[in-house]
Structure 1
Amino acid sequence: MGSVKLHARLLAVALLVLGIGSMAYQILIQKVPLTESETDPVWVVDAQVQFQARGNHPVKVRMFVPPLDSGFTTLNESFISNNYGVNVSREGGNRVVTWSSRRVEGQQSLYYRLLITPRFAEPGGQAKEPGPQFRPSPTLSGPEKVAADALLAPIRQHSADIETFISETIKRVNSRDDNDNVRLLLGGNMAPENRARVVDLLLAVAHIPAEPVYTLRLSEVQNQQPELWLRSYNGNAWLYFNPNTGQQGLPEDRLVWWSGQAPLYNLDGGRNAEVKFSVHQNEMSALQLAQTLSSQDVSSFIDFSLYDLPLPVQQLHRILIMIPVGVLLVLLMRSLIGVETLGTFTPVLIALAFRETQVVWGVILFTFITTIGLSLRSYLEHLKLQLMARLSVVLTFVVILIGLISLFSYKLGLEVGLSVALFPMVILTMVIERMSIVWEERGGPQSMKVAIGTLVVAILSHLLMVWSPLVYLVFTFPGILLVLAAFMVFMGHYRGYRLAELVRFRAMTEEGR
């Protein structure tokens, strides 16, 4: 006996570990939302290119667009134009879109739209390809060489690696202190782009490769333009720096647009070009987002779950998958509380019928049909019919009664009566038969007690099985069923007192005192 209990406990523990492990994998690795109401931000980034075309001239517009692995998950990318050919290519680590047309006239507008979300994105994914770790020093002479050497000497002394070297260089170039060497290299031009140029120059003299990176802030700011950053490869990862503030590390709300010295766009066959950016934030259901990503090359739990089934089949499984939850409730009510029911799983089957009739009307219809059926069964008992014949007659009259209730409900305009047919006829017949047997063997009060217990458990099971948060959890995380099975196995060896028995034998305990 001891080995059997040990076997059962080991089985329960294995089921528990498997169930919790699968849920943890979905939550921690696949980022499956715990609630159906959870949402994720979806950023809509628009770039509008406007220019005046020169009549009867071919037009070609080339513009950098963001890489698809820039730390965000791309949901959709659109190139919107009228009578233009569109081609996307890669140049020097950047993506370039080319709009071309043979002849256009007047004001032209081209649109680029990108939908991105941080969900399912790999952290730190701004650039995965390695970069150079050394570059030749530019040739400087005269005052510029003296100024650069004078600035680099203390920078080398106060830095320990590439990261601190770049930070110290940016700090000194942007320092508010009056430094003649910095002023000489800036040449009187205090623009952010020129400061970044001087930082890059000093890094080049020190043989540290760096390149400009242009980013867009994911914020609903009007008329924003790409912001200049610097990045350098330290042998393991890219380091990003703001050349104006010295801030290190690209913020999470920055989208890398392109890198390098080349301008954002190039226009042939037109004039007065302008690029306008706009960013808008929307909210999208995390579950819907996961379903959208399932059709892309993104690791999504939807590909290996019940959500991959057709919608009608999903609706069926949303009902079926909740049956073990109702069964567990019946087990607890019978084993721990001591509620008596007609059969083991009859309350769960009745609870399924309550899905259409609702609880109040379901109880009324169930009570009415069962009462009529019991009366009919009592009458048939006097005819001394055998069990099969008696059950067949009861089943036939249950069907007739259901038909009559549906007909009268339709005539009276009560739609709820039409759903009485969803009560399984065989289940109602067996309930009537079981109640009559209990009546004969244990009396009318006990029969009513069992019937009320069945209805109470059925109502609780129904409320639990249709509770939306729980339905979502069980349907999304099927591993919960293994946890329920483990608990059922543990309960299989429970031999303790039920709550009803403690109340029943309380008088004996008081007498013993």
Structure 2
Amino acid sequence: MSRVPFYLLVGVLLVAGIAVTIYRHVAFEVPWVPGEQRQVWEVEAQVNFIAEGESAKVNLALPSNQEGFRILTENTGSSGFGLSFLDDDKGRRAQWATREAKGSQQLYYSVQLLVAPNAAQPRVEPPPPDQDVSWARPYDTAAKEVIDQAYRRSSDAFTFSRELARAFSGDRQDENARLLLTQFDRPTLLVKLLNQAGVSARKIHGLLLEDGRRRQSLTTWIQVFDADNDWVIINPTSGEQGRPDNLLLWEAGDQAALEVQGGRDSKVTFSMLQHNEPASVAVRNQLANDTLLNFSIHSLPLEEQSLFKTILLIPIGALVVVLLRVLIGIKTSGTFMPVLIALAFIQTTLFTGLAGFLLVVAVGLVIRNYLSYLNLLLVARVSAVIITVIAIISIFSVVAYRMGLNAGLTITFFPMIILSWTIERMSILWEEEGPKEVLIQGGGSLLTAVLAYLAMNNPWIRHITFNFLGVQLILMAFILLLGNYTGYRLLELRRFKPITED
């Protein structure tokens, strides 16, 4: 029979698992290792104005996900005001409104931003250049001279914008530039000149992030577009091209960052603080909606997340069992009983779990040996063993608590039905094969359970299995490959040692 479909299935599982895992790491920045830290900025905007005793409405521009930054959480504070978040083609804004307000008012908006160097910049539609740029005399002649001079020193829209900005800074200023600066502020003047030259450009407002700074204001930058709708940011003061790493674009629609109706003397100031957060927490708090490719347990309630954190470890234990039984040849009492015992060890700690397991099984075997003389039917005998195991665990828990050994209380995490069947199997094995086989299978079960516990309780493995569900497909592929193994087990090689000696 052809094995091509089998190996094709294994290949598909491997490729799919690896692809989904790498995609989650690259696209959603889920870290490979636990404990990795990510830089997070907390920015607070404080709006102050004096209300005039009538209805008031306040509009504040808000930042969006952008290159270098991703929003984690947002909070507001506005006593007596209604709040709405508006999102349109001009950007995001917070709108506070009230029927009556009088005197000094304060509104707050705070945002947590994850520093994400790999975050993609959203597509931005360029504004159409203003075709009706007009100048009064003699500014029209000065503007034409400045544009012509910058045009000769440039090759495209971006270099033209740089040269134009440099014409108004430092020693490059001539009499034409100084004349124009007497009538316009530098950002407005640059946008007007660029539009006259047929280049799409607009003013944007950004916040330069510096740890521990208070009462900061937005700065104005120039966003310039070329014919392919690509864009760059130009510093209107120095003419430098490029966006500083600590520049957070706050308002990118060429609108006022703050608009107040029904008030006066309005202003907005910013405070900021930088700190580090575990990467897993930062990624979990992202506001992006889960998609099919971002399928994760993080979308579930916390109680279910805790449950799945343990369930997703079971395939790791299953892989350990398959490796030990198929390749090495270790015998166990029950196929996957060691995995369930390993899960109990995770709750009880290893040494407490080993002591509890040995005590329960030892006492259970003694009582099961007595039950064998009563000639009971199988179902009744196993039921009696289950009740016996429950009684043993209850007694041990009470005694441990009375002795001040709180660790003994965790023995209740052992799967009682599995323990009962283990005792039943070992008792039958003792009667049919003798104590040696009981020790072999019991010792093999304990060894397998300990190794499975060490693998499942590893912090890196717990992190990978919980955050990258594609790993489950990879584990499935490996288990299928091991299930196709038909060679000799490692422990069987000793049977053939005499042949090699001959």
TM-score (norm 2): 0.82
| C-alpha displacement of 1:357 | 3.4
In angstroms, what is the RMSD of aligned CA positions? 3.9
* Structure 1 pair 411–283 and aligned structure 2 pair: CA distance change class (3 A): same
Contact 2:199 2:226 in 1 (8 A): no
Output one character per residue of 1:388-431: Cα deviation in whole Å (capped at 9) or x when no partner: 56545545544443343334334434344444344334433332
Q: Is residue 2:248 matched to residue 1:251?
A: no
Contact 2:75 2:110 in 1 (8 A): yes
Letter in 2 for 1:47: A
Q: Is residue 2:18 matched to residue 1:27?
A: no
Report the Cα distance in structure 1 between the residues aligned to 2:486 and 2:19, rounded to whole angstroms: 30
| C-alpha displacement of 1:332 | 0.7
Q: Is residue 2:124 matched to residue 1:123?
A: no
SS in 2 for 1:473: helix
* Structure 1 pair 343–205 and aligned structure 2 pair: CA distance change class (3 A): closer
Contact 1:216 1:227 in 2 (8 A): yes
Query: Residue in 2 aligned with 1:428?
Result: 419
Contact 2:29 2:283 in 1 (8 A): no
Query: Residue in 1 aligned with 2:201?
Result: 210
* Structure 1 pair 11–173 and aligned structure 2 pair: CA distance change class (3 A): same
Q: Is residue 2:159 matched to residue 1:164?
A: yes
* Structure 1 pair 6–227 and aligned structure 2 pair: CA distance change class (3 A): same
* Structure 1 pair 272–502 and aligned structure 2 pair: CA distance change class (3 A): same
Report the Cα distance in structure 2 between the residues aligned to 1:149 and 1:321, rounded to whole angstroms: 69
Selected match of 2:62 from 63, 66, 69: 66
| C-alpha displacement of 1:330 | 0.9
* Structure 1 pair 419–175 and aligned structure 2 pair: CA distance change class (3 A): closer
SS in 1 for 2:35: coil
Selected match of 2:269 from 256, 273, 276: 276
Contact 2:114 2:282 in 1 (8 A): no
More displaced 10-residue stretch of structure 1: 77-86 or 214-223: 77-86
Selected match of 2:218 from 214, 226, 231: 226
* Structure 1 pair 302–38 and aligned structure 2 pair: CA distance change class (3 A): farther
Query: Residue in 2 aligned with 1:352?
Result: 343
| C-alpha displacement of 1:355 | 3.5
Contact 1:30 1:299 in 2 (8 A): no
Report the Cα distance in structure 1 between the residues aligned to 2:341 and 2:489, rounded to whole angstroms: 24
| C-alpha displacement of 1:437 | 4.2
| C-alpha displacement of 1:102 | 4.2
Query: Residue in 1 aligned with 2:128?
Result: 132
Output one character per residue of 1:75-103: Cα deviation in whole Å (capped at 9) or x when no partner: 55555444456677799946474666645
Gaps of 5+ in 2: none
Contact 1:337 1:498 in 2 (8 A): yes
Q: Is residue 2:332 matched to residue 1:334?
A: no
SS in 1 for 2:42: strand
Report the Cα distance in structure 2 between the residues aligned to 1:206 and 1:74, rounded to whole angstroms: 37
More displaced 10-residue stretch of structure 1: 159-168 or 222-231: 222-231
Contact 1:357 1:419 in 2 (8 A): yes
| C-alpha displacement of 1:261 | 7.7
Selected match of 1:476 from 462, 467, 470: 467
* Structure 1 pair 489–265 and aligned structure 2 pair: CA distance change class (3 A): closer
Larger radius of gyration: 1
* Structure 1 pair 165–336 and aligned structure 2 pair: CA distance change class (3 A): same
Report the Cα distance in structure 1 between the residues aligned to 2:361 and 2:96, rounded to whole angstroms: 76
Report the Cα distance in structure 2 between the residues aligned to 1:243 and 1:335, rounded to whole angstroms: 70
SS in 2 for 1:104: strand
Letter in 1 for 2:61: V
Contact 2:397 2:409 in 1 (8 A): yes
* Structure 1 pair 326–39 and aligned structure 2 pair: CA distance change class (3 A): same
Query: Residue in 2 aligned with 1:9?
Result: 7
| C-alpha displacement of 1:218 | 2.5
Report the Cα distance in structure 1 between the residues aligned to 2:498 and 2:109, rounded to whole angstroms: 81
| C-alpha displacement of 1:21 | 3.0
* Structure 1 pair 346–52 and aligned structure 2 pair: CA distance change class (3 A): closer
Report the Cα distance in structure 1 between the residues aligned to 2:195 and 2:393, rounded to whole angstroms: 89
Query: Residue in 2 aligned with 1:454?
Result: 445
Output one character per residue of 1:263-322: Cα deviation in whole Å (capped at 9) or x when no partner: 6556677665554221223444544445544xx663457984433444443333333332
* Structure 1 pair 382–225 and aligned structure 2 pair: CA distance change class (3 A): closer
Contact 1:73 1:121 in 2 (8 A): no
SS in 1 for 2:167: helix
SS in 2 for 1:160: coil
Contact 1:290 1:300 in 2 (8 A): no
Output one character per residue of 1:13-33: Cα deviation in whole Å (capped at 9) or x when no partner: 222223223323333334444
Report the Cα distance in structure 2 between the residues aligned to 1:435 and 1:7, rounded to whole angstroms: 40
| C-alpha displacement of 1:181 | 3.7
Query: Residue in 2 aligned with 1:199?
Result: 190
Letter in 1 for 2:356: L
Report the Cα distance in structure 2 between the residues aligned to 1:305 and 1:214, rounded to whole angstroms: 36
Contact 1:73 1:118 in 2 (8 A): yes
Letter in 1 for 2:174: N
SS in 1 for 2:392: helix
Contact 1:173 1:198 in 2 (8 A): no
* Structure 1 pair 151–476 and aligned structure 2 pair: CA distance change class (3 A): closer
| C-alpha displacement of 1:242 | 0.8
Report the Cα distance in structure 2 between the residues aligned to 1:322 and 1:303, rounded to whole angstroms: 20
Report the Cα distance in structure 1 between the residues aligned to 2:110 and 2:375, rounded to whole angstroms: 81
Report the Cα distance in structure 1 between the residues aligned to 2:219 and 2:280, rounded to whole angstroms: 34
- Structure 2 matches for 1:279-290, cutoff 5 A? 279-290=272-283
* Structure 1 pair 502–87 and aligned structure 2 pair: CA distance change class (3 A): closer
Report the Cα distance in structure 1 between the residues aligned to 2:22 and 2:288, rounded to whole angstroms: 23
More displaced 10-residue stretch of structure 1: 344-353 or 200-209: 200-209
- Structure 2 matches for 1:29-428, cutoff 5 A? 29-51=27-49, 58=54, 60=56, 64-66=60-62, 68=64, 72-77=69-74, 80-83=77-80, 93=90, 95=93, 97=95, 102=100, 104-105=102-103, 107-117=104-114, 123-125=120-122, 128-133=124-129, 135-139=131-135, 141-142=137-138, 144-177=139-172, 179-187=174-182, 194-220=185-211, 221-235=213-227, 236-258=229-251, 265=258, 273-293=266-286, 298-299=289-290, 304-378=295-369, 391=382, 394-428=385-419
| C-alpha displacement of 1:379 | 5.0
Query: Residue in 1 aligned with 2:484?
Result: 493
Report the Cα distance in structure 1 between the residues aligned to 2:76 and 2:354, rounded to whole angstroms: 59
SS in 2 for 1:225: coil
* Structure 1 pair 49–432 and aligned structure 2 pair: CA distance change class (3 A): closer
Gaps of 5+ in 1: none
More displaced 10-residue stretch of structure 1: 222-231 or 266-275: 266-275
Letter in 1 for 2:463: Y
Report the Cα distance in structure 2 between the residues aligned to 1:161 and 1:456, rounded to whole angstroms: 71
SS in 1 for 2:358: helix
